[in-house]
Structure 1
Amino acid sequence: MTGSQPPLNDDSGPDGPDLLPGAVDARFTLASERTMLAWLRLALGLIAAGVAVLHLLEPWGDPTARRTLGIALLTIGAFTAIVGMLRWHEIDRALKRGGPLPGPWPIWTLTGLIVIAAIGFALWS
C-alpha cells in the first residue's frame, strides 16, 4: 500500500479537531484539572503534616515551636488549596475566552513561603 494514510479521526480538519466556536480542546481542560488536583494533593499533604505536628509530636521540644510549626503548615496548606482553585479558575476562563494564561506568581509565592518556613524552623532554637 503506497501513499498517505487517511487520518484516524474523521472530524478533524487540516488545522486539528473541528471545535464549536468558543469550545476548548478537552486535552487542555483535563490538563488544567490534573494540575488543580496536584495543588490539592500538596495542600492535603501540608495540612496533614500540620495536624501531625500539632497532635502526634507531643513530646517534641518546645510547645511554642510545635504549635507555631503546626499552624504554619496548616496555613500554608489552606493557602495552597485556595490559590490552586483560583489558578484553575483563571486558566479555565483564559482557555474559554482565548486570553493569556495567568503568570507564575502563585508558584513563586508558595515556594517562598515554604522556603521561609523551612529556614525559620531550621534556625529555631
Structure 2
Amino acid sequence: MDLIDVSGDQSSSTDPAPPRRGKMAELLLPGGTEPDPRFTLANERTFLAWIRTSLALLAGGIAIEAFTSDLFLEPVRKGLAVMLLLLGMLLSAGAAVRWIHVEQSMRSKTPLPLPLIGPLVAGVGSLAAAVVLVLILWR
C-alpha cells in the first residue's frame, strides 16, 4: 500500500529503513549487506544459549568446590572445579567469537563456519563426567 504525503511524493510503506549501525558494528561487521533480521535474531538466540550453558558450567564449578568436600579428595575436587570453571570461561568467549563469525558470514553470503565450541564442550564435559563416575564407583 502506497502512502501519499502532502507534497504529492509517493513513498512505499514497505521500503526498508536504513540500518542503524554504530562505530562498534562497523568495526566488528565491516561490509556486506544486512541479513534478514530473523537470521540475526536466531544467531543471537544461539549465542545466548551458549552463554546460559557457560553460566551453568561456572555454577557447577563453584558448587563442586563449595559442597563436595566430603565426597571427593581435595585435589580431585579442585581439579573438577577448575575444569568446569575454565570450560565456562572458554565457552563464553567462544560464543562471542562464533556470534561474530556467523554474523560476518551471513552479511557476506559465505558458508557458515564450523562450530568448534560444541566438540569442546562435549569433550571436556565427558572427561569431567568420567572422572566423577570413576570416583563414585571407586568410593
Same fold (TM over 0.5): yes
- Aligned counterparts of 2:69 and 2:92: Cα–Cα separation in 1: 27
Consecutive unaligned residues of structure 2, counting only runs of 5 or more, are 1-12, 20-31
Determine if the alignment matches structure 1 residue 105 to structure 2 residue 116.
Answer: yes
Matched letter for residue 74 of structure 2: P
Which is greater in Rg?
A: 2
Determine if the alignment matches structure 1 residue 55 to structure 2 residue 58.
Answer: no
Identity of aligned residues (%): 30
Structure 1 segments (4+ residues) deviating >2 Å: 56-61
Matched letter for residue 112 of structure 1: G
**Could you tell me which of 95, 100, 105 is aligned with 1:94?**
105
Consecutive unaligned residues of structure 1, counting only runs of 5 or more, are 1-9
Superposed counterparts of 1:18-37, under 5 Å: 22-37=33-48
- Aligned counterparts of 1:116 and 1:55: Cα–Cα separation in 2: 21
1:3: which partner in 2?
A: none
- Aligned counterparts of 1:28 and 1:84: Cα–Cα separation in 2: 16
Q: Is the 8 A contact 2:98 2:115 kept in 1?
A: no
**Count of matched residue positions in the alignment of Structure 1 and Structure 2:** 113
2:134: which partner in 1?
A: 123
2:4: which partner in 1?
A: none
The offset of 1:105, in angstroms, is 2.7
The offset of 1:39, in angstroms, is 0.3
**Could you tell me which of 34, 40, 53 is aligned with 1:42?**
53
RMSD of aligned residue pairs (Cα, Å): 2.3
- TM-score, normalised via structure 2 length: 0.71
* Residues 50-59 or 90-99, more deviating: 50-59
- TM-score, normalised via structure 1 length: 0.78
